Amino acid sequence: MGKVRTLTCPKCQREVPPAERQFFCADCRMILDVQVDLSHLSADFQDKLLRRQDPTIWKWHEFLPVEDLSCIVSLGEGYTPLVHTEALAAATGLERLHVKNDTLLPTGSLKDRSNAVGISKGKEFGVRTAAVVSTGNAAASVAAYAAVAGMQAVVIISADTSQQKVAQAGIYGATIIPVEGPYDQVASIYRAAVEEFGWYDCLSSNPYRLEGKKSYAFETWEQLDGEVPDWMIHCIAGGAGVVAAYKGYRELKGLGWVEKLPRMVVAQADACAPVVRAFERGADEVTPVEAGETIAESIRVGKPSPMATRALWDVKASGGTAVGVSDDEIRSAQSLLARTAGIFGEPSGVVSVAAAIRLKAQGTIRSDDLVVCTVSGHGLKQVGVLDPAYLVSRPIPARLDALRARLEELMR
């Protein structure tokens, strides 16, 4: 089990006892950081852990903040493939590019890493109603894990959320409430509702939820046979992936299991890139931006939580960078990844690959650097952005000569 020692404010270092079940610093309004006690782990614990035959994030349960293991809610999340193909390496010019394929998580997105831990902790707290405001992926994930935990799920979504994602959340039995208006306005209503009704918040403002994404560090380190990436690139809205993965690597370094830390990269759609804009200005905090139109709907958040500022701090501390990419670059990366690695990612999920290509072209990333890109969501969640006429040719008559003619036409 993972015993929580304390929660701390990452800005002022104020400590809060875990029994208080507080998520924000009363002074700074920063999201608190869970401190799991790792001091009891002996020198030989590494070998013992790596020998465990558990193909989920719970293989690392000593690092995760759930003390009562009977409260664990799992759908088999974790240990997604770390994919390297010669075709993708040749196409990108990145000889050691690996893709963490989180399209294969139980509900098809990275949110399962967070909600496995967040909902398990909620069960330990005795929570009855879990809630989230979402552009789709978190909605489905919270709904699925809450269903298994025996909780009611309330999901507030933007009215223009893709129908595939709405249907997925609905099939798990969640109460779904579409709200008209931009996401930031919808999120504001959600925050007021959490306060009003006492729901268990499953956003990145829940510090326990963040802990699940530390598994990125643990899994990639193991899958790379103990090697640490030179660059780890996350497509983000609020920044939790960057913060959690970097925290996981810092915990490994604190135990003496790794000697260096990866350089962390924030990847966002250029039309809605508050962290990127803050990084470009040399700012110390992320301020809201107007959310422009982009096909990367899952990360189209102009006013992220304070977690985004922590992501900015970690990018700077690690010597990393932040990059925004265009919709054309996203479409190109989506197609390239499918054709060279067999991975069908949703537009938001492949922003990391588009960013890697951009950074290689700029000379920031060298061709022989070890690069890990997280692909965070399955393409089937947002098929509406694809043009069927581009993918499939018009029908032919049921005759062999017609088939022969079409093949000659397509293969010229």
Band (160; pLDDT cuts 50, 70, 90): confident
* Residue extents of the structural domains in the chain: 82-108+210-385
Report residue 159 CA to chain centroid gap. 22
Band (389; pLDDT cuts 50, 70, 90): low
Q: Is the pLDDT of residue 19 over 70?
A: yes
Check: CB of residue 105 under 8 Å from CB of residue 112.
yes
Mean pLDDT confidence for 164-177: 90
Q: What is the CATH number of domain 82-108+210-385?
A: 3.40.50.1100
At 187, list the tokens: 């999120």
Q: Is the pLDDT of residue 373 over 70?
A: yes
Check: CB of residue 320 under 8 Å from CB of residue 236.
no
Q: Is the pLDDT of residue 1 over 80?
A: no
At 301, list the tokens: 């958040």
Q: Determine what percent of the chain is predicted with pLDDT higher than 90.
A: 85
pLDDT-wise least confident of 29-38, 132-141, 156-165 = 156-165
Contacts for 254-262 with beta carbons within 8 Å, 24 or more apart?
Answer: 254/38, 255/38, 255/41, 255/46, 257/46, 257/221, 257/226, 258/221, 258/226, 258/228, 259/228, 260/228, 261/228, 261/318, 262/228, 262/229, 262/230, 262/231, 262/232, 262/318, 262/320, 262/372
> What is the arrangement of strands in the sheet containing 82-83, beginning at the earlier edge strand?
82-83, 96-101, 370-375, 231-235, 263-269, 321-325
β-bridge pairing 200-201 and 129-134? parallel
Q: Is the pLDDT of residue 57 over 70?
A: yes
Alpha helices in 207-260 (DSSP H): 207-210, 215-223, 240-254
Check: CB of residue 337 under 8 Å from CB of residue 94.
no
DSSP labels, 243-254: HHHHHHHHHHHH
Mean pLDDT confidence for 303-310: 93
Helix, strand, coil tally for the chain in percent (to 5): 45, 15, 40
Mean pLDDT confidence for 30-48: 94
Q: Is the pLDDT of residue 222 over 80?
A: yes
Residues 30, 309: Cα–Cα separation, whole Å:
9
Name residues whose C-beta falls within 8 Å of residue 171's C-beta, 6 or more positions apart in sequence.
none
Q: Is the pLDDT of residue 334 over 80?
A: yes
Cα distances from 185 to residues 31, 240, 260, 303, in angstroms, run: 20, 21, 41, 9
Beta strands in 242-329 (DSSP E): 263-269, 321-325
Residues 323, 180: Cα–Cα separation, whole Å:
30
Using alpha carbons, select from 233, 317, 308, 245 the residue that is nearest to residue 272.
308
Using alpha carbons, select from 168, 57, 151, 42 the residue that is nearest to residue 102.
57
Q: What is the pLDDT of residue 412?
A: 77
Q: What is the pLDDT of residue 136?
A: 79
Mean pLDDT confidence for 154-163: 87
Mean pLDDT confidence for 298-314: 94
Q: Is the pLDDT of residue 284 over 80?
A: yes
Mean pLDDT confidence for 199-212: 94
